[in-house]
Amino acid sequence: MPAQQPSNIDPAHARGWVDTTLAACLHRVNRRDLIRQLLVTLVVTVAAAVFLQVSVRSYVVDGDSMFPGLKSGDHLLVDQLVYRFQTPARGDIVVFRFPHPWLQQDLVKRIIGLPGDVVEIRPHLVFVNGRPLYEPYVRNVETYSYGPRRVPAGEYFVLGDNRELNGRPISYDSHQWGFLPAGDIYGRLSLTFWPPADLHLFGW
The Cβ of residue 109 has, within 10 Å, a number of other Cβ atoms equal to 23
Active site residues: 65, 109
Question: Among 117, 84, 82, 110, which Cα is nearest to 96's?
Answer: 110
Question: How crowded is the C-beta side of 111, counted as CA atoms within 13 Å?
Answer: 25
Q: C-alpha angle 181/78/40, rounded to 5°? A: 125
Residue type at 50 in one-letter notation: V
Cα separation of 26 and 94, whole Å? 52
